[in-house]
Structure 1
């Protein structure tokens, strides 16, 4: 559809990119740490802080670690799917593994926060790691990004995330299903717009359509529900999860939760009862972070998912899409804005300076769209979208050879033109072809996943090609 991500590209991306089953809700823990520690002035907070279980993490055992940027903080947020105790009603699971894994990048000096979802089905090269507690540890191997937790505990999961992303992790926060329900109930529920009736027995969720307030059990079901909503994919589910988290953050930060000691106390008691952190995430650290982040606008809290596509060796698993994933991680590691509002662009060859890009408008770019993805009519559909965005579409057709990744080929002196087009795509790499003239070629491969314009303002900036939204955009009402 013009102005939208191509239907085939979108559907294919949703089917291939199995993302998160509990999803973005876990990031509220980081927000609770940020906004809740303003309760320091009340003696009750010290009792609440005592609710938190803490672990010692020996980061010295990691060896060489990514550099840390002064003034920024990165928290590894874990949604545990351990099914013991009160969580047993949600089924059985082997060991303890992250059902949700997020890097929460908090930048007080710049007044923003970015939460990067790392899909649990990502296949990555995992580093060797010594075990923690009763775990044996693991040798270096290729496996799912969430497997180090069950093999070597939080310490191995921490090391793996740092190694894979190149982002220095300062702390970790973990919570389970029961903890999430308690958080929602402490808020008195979260108001959401349910566009269509939901009947999902697997998630124990039955809701009528319309605007309504979800309690803790309903909210957990909404986060876990997959087949009862949308197209049944994890990608569509993560979009709903971001909407829910946006509604929750709006309610916490703009409602009465922070206005009275009694409501803050109840909220934080629920947050901390099932929370585990590292022992260096102290009361003083939380307090300093909260004070510096109290005035952050919801529009500067961004939610994104690490760019990914189907793993070449297993269609049921995912692989990071490059160079987009590396660009995103480097942007976070350098404490730059993913929206490009501070002039930063993370990683990769970038494709020209900001000055060069500013001189290239869509109307200056002649594009040939070649369909190597295989869906009939996809090149015409993409060409129509580009035309509505002001690009000059010279031709559509099929390529002689199909690259492994969606690629934009350009002739000598046209790199900035190709990069400007690449910035509009979720996943496209740039490569020079000396035989081309003024027209660049967009060759759609099997990993084609549409355009970033459908993902909100946060997707079009510094990291290039990253799906995302902001807490302010996620706020929704019916009608």
Structure 2
């Protein structure tokens, strides 16, 4: 029988604890159990993990995506409820909504891990959730992805993430704010480059510009800071979090920490005392994951955010870009390697010469279906809309169809046509004096789809995704 975690806290009677879960999980998933074997007493190793709190989740309550053997997917959550030691970071907020929501995909088949941010401001089509304890449940509706937690707790949030992404979630992890501070202090702080001075009263953060080592209190403020840095958006904050967590991961994996039993024990203690997991996430399963991750290079741990853009109804909210988002989810669900192929030198030069010079939102495009595939113009038009283009209409050709898929443009609109062509696998660009400001995409028999669409091979790069490895997140002044 697997050994269960003893707990002096009642997990069923309290809310899931607040967290910056990505930092906790990256640290735990890639180091905690890997270095646990270096502890002299196996009993001490189990004693550390006995601090973890648990919560029961009934995953039989909904139809679930198929699990791919070998791969592990962890839902990372953190809550906007702030009380006790956390109350100073923004004051009390009604309800409980994840401040951070991610999927950690651990792939033994590809010797690495991918951590996908699901922005909390994402507006999505939410499935219904049954009442759960003191949570009222919710009807199916369109809303912000993080509101599921407030209506139905972790169980509802788990269901929402699975049904939106098609990814089988194996476990969840939550890490609270106070624990995050303790993690940073346990490793002696994290070195960061702060490009510009920061003064964010809401995050209780004041920093000078330049290279410096952030302690736990400063690190928490840096991770929480939104309005004192960048453009004030959640996406901008996610980028900074990825940089910080990459630096933290490098520090944890460094020889200085790994060679110090006291530092290891202190770090593991701060992690495990601050996290909540589902009651099926046993220490033995964590050990299995750690064994899988033992030889993983930092270059094979990738941070990315689901492809997205401003929501058409509210620029302060996020809409997932399709079909890119679904293609990413499908790759993760099937444990498919996302390969970034380097272009041939000639192709790279040609691509640079034809690089689009117009924002898609400024391009009006009409899509004409010159093939025998019914509804293709509508499908392609929707995909272009998902990439930010303005769809002027769809239809069938009134005359002859060119032998190659062609983007036609009026005088002075070549850059607009090139912007459309850059999204297609195969297309030529031609001028038509009969056209005005709207460009026209005529799909012909050689049609091969949009770059990154659902028909793409598993080895094609997802152009819209800016993936960073743990090595590449390093910041320099």
| Pairwise TM-score range, normalised by the shorter structure | 0.7 to 0.9
1:75 aligns with 2:74: yes
1:475 aligns with 2:468: no
Q: Distance in 1 between matches of 2:161 and 2:94?
A: 21
| Residue aligning to 2:101 | 101
| Residue aligning to 2:21 | 26
Q: Distance in 1 between matches of 2:468 and 2:145?
A: 23
Distance 1:374 1:290, change over 3 A: closer
Asked whether the 8 Å contact 2:119–2:234 carries over to 1, the reply is: no
User: If the length of structure 1 is used for normalisation, what is the TM-score?
Assistant: 0.73
1:85 aligns with 2:84: yes
The match for 2:33 among 30, 34, 37 is 37
| Residue aligning to 1:175 | 175
| Residue aligning to 1:464 | 463
Secondary structure (helix, strand or coil) at the match of 2:191 reads strand
Deviations 1:43-76 (A, max 9, x none): 212122111111111111112x111111110000
Deviations 1:393-426 (A, max 9, x none): xxxxxxxxx96744599975459xxxxxxxx999
Q: Distance in 2 between matches of 1:197 and 1:265?
A: 35
Distance 1:79 1:427, change over 3 A: farther
1:145 aligns with 2:145: yes
Q: Distance in 2 between matches of 1:296 and 1:442?
A: 50
Asked whether the 8 Å contact 2:321–2:386 carries over to 1, the reply is: no
Distance 1:428 1:74, change over 3 A: farther
User: If the length of structure 2 is used for normalisation, what is the TM-score?
Assistant: 0.73
Supply the RMSD in Å over aligned alpha carbons. Answer: 3.7
Query: Which has the higher mean CA deviation after the structures are superposed, 225-234 or 76-85?
Result: 225-234
Structure 1: gaps of 5 or more residues: 1-22, 342-353, 380-401, 416-423, 445-451, 453-459
Q: Distance in 2 between matches of 1:368 and 1:472?
A: 28
Structure 2: gaps of 5 or more residues: 1-17, 365-383, 392-400, 407-417, 432-436, 441-450, 452-458
Distance 1:205 1:430, change over 3 A: same
Deviations 1:285-334 (A, max 9, x none): 01011011011111111111111112222332211111111111111111
Query: Which has the higher mean CA deviation after the structures are superposed, 69-78 or 193-202?
Result: 193-202
Secondary structure (helix, strand or coil) at the match of 1:28 reads helix
Q: Distance in 1 between matches of 2:300 and 2:213?
A: 26
Q: Distance in 2 between matches of 1:294 and 1:265?
A: 18
Q: Which structure features the higher share of helix residues? A: 1
Deviations 1:224-248 (A, max 9, x none): 2223223333333222211111110
Q: Distance in 1 between matches of 2:420 and 2:473?
A: 20
Secondary structure (helix, strand or coil) at the match of 2:212 reads strand
- Summarize the alignment of residues 358-369 of structure 1 with structure 2, pairs less than 5 Å apart: 361-362=347-348, 367=354, 369=356
Asked whether the 8 Å contact 2:360–2:389 carries over to 1, the reply is: no
Asked whether the 8 Å contact 2:190–2:248 carries over to 1, the reply is: yes
1:294 aligns with 2:294: yes
| Residue aligning to 2:373 | none
Q: Distance in 2 between matches of 1:333 and 1:427?
A: 30
Number of equivalenced pairs: 393
Q: Which structure would you say has the larger Rg?
A: 2
Distance 1:112 1:431, change over 3 A: closer
Higher relative contact order (CA 8 A, sep 6+): 1
Q: Distance in 2 between matches of 1:360 and 1:334?
A: 33
| Residue aligning to 1:395 | none
Distance 1:475 1:442, change over 3 A: farther
| Residue aligning to 1:455 | none
- Summarize the alignment of residues 47-446 of structure 1 with structure 2, pairs less than 5 Å apart: 47-63=47-63, 65-90=64-89, 91-340=91-340, 361-362=347-348, 367=354, 369=356, 371=358, 405-406=387-388, 412-413=403-404, 430=424
Q: Distance in 2 between matches of 1:297 and 1:322?
A: 31
CA shift for structure 1 position 131? 2.9
